[in-house]
Structure 1
Amino acid sequence: MAVASAARSVLLAPWWVASLATGAQSFIDNPLLGSEALNRRGLHARRVAIAARMADRRRARLSAALSPEDAAAFARDGFVLKRDFLPTEAFRALSEEVEGLVTTVREMVQGDTITRRIALGDSLLARLPAARALVESPEWRNLLAHVAGHGARPSQFIQTILSGVRPAEPDPQTVLHSDAFHPTMKAWLFMRDVPADEGPFTYVPGSHVMTKRRLAWERRMSIEASHGLDHLSRRGSLRITADRLRRLGLPQPVAFAVPANTLVVADTHGFHARGPSLRPSIRVEIWAMERRNPFLPWTGLDLWAIPGLRGRREALQWRALDLMERMGLGRSPWRRLSPRHPGDPAGPLEEHA
């Protein structure tokens, strides 16, 4: 057994080293990333600092396409909030498309919450002209590109959050956390009003900035990850408490209890969470995310723009997860379910078995 383990380490060592120049972040899966000795010497903190500097440089090259007001808001807060994002008629047409859509969906269960997604690939967008107009509009694309730090087309979905709909532990997304060790982008265009007590998105303003205090915290957490911390933190999505926010000189999170047709685009390396829902609730949104290799210096060269791949990213990634499950390599968390509306209530729990 010891010989086999040593041989495995030798074979995988080049992969572990090469991963240092990618977005790999799990302290569990890569012994270099999870090494207490290396992280005491600053491995994790240096990756964080380098990734932040490179994102700043890429964003500077993309800033000309953004209004000065949006650029200033993002630099200050780590997010941009735009109420009445779409003209009234355009939002009404989009809402009718989303609420009237019936199609197969994917769902994932986390704690007492179900996340439902419908991929906005090219084949579906051909049937949804208002949705296509949104994701192809310069304002949408430029704002998301600036926050992401590159111009690649993000993954885009109709997303539904069904909070408190099953008897289980609380949704882990309700704990303040950072998605990754590097800048990432997520966007929400809320299709319905979001009440303050029904799971609003929350964000700690200014927490995207890599101050000396934040980098020291990142270093300390990377050291603790070798022998402690919760599972999601050890996977690279570091959790933080309100007390530690104060120690970092950061404010408490702001909850986005906002009306329909509000757009929020945020750098989710900043601390954020899904707010608690005091009752079973449903939140419907157009949702986008992008998490690219943070050490790439360029803003273009998008693999998913190649003919044959364009507009199929989400479907191909789900198929890859399904194939891995059929091969016995793990269970896909995203279950393919029968056609339904985005806003339908949760179905039987057996659907996710």
Structure 2
Amino acid sequence: MPSMLAAPWWLAQLATGAKSFRDNPIIGSRRLNARGLHRTRVQIAHQLAWSRRARLTAGLPDEDRAAFDRDGFVIVRDFLPPLAFAALREAVLAQRFATREMRQGNTITRRIAIGPSFLQAIPQAEALLRDVRFRALCHYVGSFRSEPLHYVQTILTDSGVPDPDPQTNLHADTFHPTVKAWFFLNDVEEADGPFSYVPGSHRLTPARLDWEQARSLTARTSDDFLSARGSLRVSPEELPGLGLPPAQRFPVPANTLVVADTCGFHARVAATRPSRRLELWSFSRRNPFVPWTGADLLSVPGIAERRIDAMWRIRDRFQNWTGQPWQPAGDKLVLDD
């Protein structure tokens, strides 16, 4: 009986970005996926994303569009003027903020919501968030004219703990195009666990589509929990068969912006020393099956900057049902142990 009651909800999720093979028995159905269910969702989502991107080129430099279309990511060094960057970094380092943290293996991710109180305390952040090029990149890569969620994020890794971070395995976040952006506030060296990406893996080639369908047949019962939840893992040995090169690593200096479609294969390289990676991190993901680029009520000023706090409060209240990996960690400096 419970499954009968839930069936309309599971069915409705097919028209959304729902991705979990494990939690939705329709999305995870081996029989339906053998007949092309997952394959069809992937195809439609990618076709619509590229159609929307064609209408989101305003303010985007030609070289950025060419780099993204080819590689799936754009890297811009010295993004902010030196004085603006120094002012932003010094302001972020100097103050304590209410933080949330999540542990995965030997890595703690610390986040600070960039909302009204943060922007009042750190007005220097507006230099990035209102930058025309930054916004154009987020819109084009994400394929929507939506306001991303913005955080200050610190990645703290203890390389001496023998419990690997699952984010160091190459993976796709989901089956459809989506955007994440990292604006680095400190230098990230090879030993610190830089971002890595497989160039061209954002494109839906016939080989990638066949791989998606094959994985959809076994993902629901996969031993890898994150794959079963729809964030499919890929081994480096599989890449040549997909016509893809090895992952490229990005140790970068501070004041570098990276914007990527995380439907492409990417990972955080395993750090080889205790490290702290500090960044302004942005993320946006909408329903991939709508054809329009705008009409996002959650991007309206007055609502957009309050979404993170609202989401955290809702998940706190209903964490017995929805889960809440982001636990309050008190007021901290961004680089506190």
TM-score (norm: length of structure 1): 0.93
**Tell me, which stretches of 5 or more residues in structure 2 are unaligned?**
none
What is the identity, as a one-letter code, of the residue corresponding to 1:343? L
Question: CA–CA distance in 2 between the matches of 1:322 and 1:227?
Answer: 29
Task: Deviation per CA, 1:270-318: give whole Å up to 9, x if none.
Answer: 0000001001100000100111111111111112134652310110111
> Hey, what does 2:150 align to over in structure 1?
156
Shift in Å, 1:331: 4.3
Shift in Å, 1:132: 1.8
**Tell me, which stretches of 5 or more residues in structure 1 are unaligned?**
1-6, 346-353
User: Which of 240, 244, 248 does residue 238 from structure 2 map onto?
Assistant: 244
Question: CA–CA distance in 2 between the matches of 1:310 and 1:200?
Answer: 29
Question: CA–CA distance in 2 between the matches of 1:20 and 1:251?
Answer: 32
User: Which of 136, 141, 145 does residue 135 from structure 2 map onto?
Assistant: 141
Question: CA–CA distance in 2 between the matches of 1:271 and 1:305?
Answer: 28
> Hey, what does 2:334 align to over in structure 1?
342
> Hey, what does 1:65 align to over in structure 2?
59
Equivalent residues of 1:113, 1:166 under 8 A apart: no
Equivalent residues of 1:114, 1:165 under 8 A apart: no
Task: Deviation per CA, 1:309-348: give whole Å up to 9, x if none.
Answer: 23101101111111013xx335421111221111112xxx
- Taking only aligned residues, the RMSD between alpha carbons, in angstroms, comes to 1.3
User: Which of 23, 35, 38 does residue 29 from structure 1 map onto?
Assistant: 23
Structure 1 residues 330, 208: closer, same or farther in 2, change over 3 A? closer
Structure 2 residue 316 is matched with structure 1 residue 316:
no
Structure 2 residue 183 is matched with structure 1 residue 192:
no
Structure 2 residue 21 is matched with structure 1 residue 20:
no
Shift in Å, 1:165: 6.3
- How many pairs are equivalent? 337
Question: CA–CA distance in 2 between the matches of 1:254 and 1:287?
Answer: 20
Counterparts in 2 of 1:157-236, with a 5 A limit? 157-164=151-158, 167=161, 169-236=163-230
Structure 1 residues 102, 226: closer, same or farther in 2, change over 3 A? closer
Equivalent residues of 1:58, 1:299 under 8 A apart: yes
Equivalent residues of 1:44, 1:218 under 8 A apart: yes
Counterparts in 2 of 1:293-312, with a 5 A limit? 293-306=287-300, 309-312=303-306
Structure 1 residues 70, 330: closer, same or farther in 2, change over 3 A? closer
Question: CA–CA distance in 2 between the matches of 1:153 and 1:307?
Answer: 9
Equivalent residues of 2:227, 2:233 under 8 A apart: yes
**SS of match in other structure, 1:255:** strand
Task: Deviation per CA, 1:218-257: give whole Å up to 9, x if none.
Answer: 0000001143341110000000001111110100011110
Equivalent residues of 1:304, 1:311 under 8 A apart: no
What is the identity, as a one-letter code, of the residue corresponding to 1:279? R
TM-score (norm: length of structure 2): 0.97
Shift in Å, 1:65: 2.4
Question: CA–CA distance in 2 between the matches of 1:273 and 1:300?
Answer: 30
Counterparts in 2 of 1:126-137, with a 5 A limit? 126-137=120-131
What is the identity, as a one-letter code, of the residue corresponding to 1:53? Q
Structure 1 residues 222, 229: closer, same or farther in 2, change over 3 A? farther
The share of aligned pairs that are identical, in percent, is: 52
**SS of match in other structure, 1:107:** strand
Question: CA–CA distance in 2 between the matches of 1:42 and 1:295?
Answer: 17
Greater mean alpha carbon deviation, residues 158-167 or residues 235-244? 158-167
Question: CA–CA distance in 2 between the matches of 1:38 and 1:177?
Answer: 24
What is the identity, as a one-letter code, of the residue corresponding to 2:199? P
User: Which of 102, 107, 114 does residue 113 from structure 1 map onto?
Assistant: 107
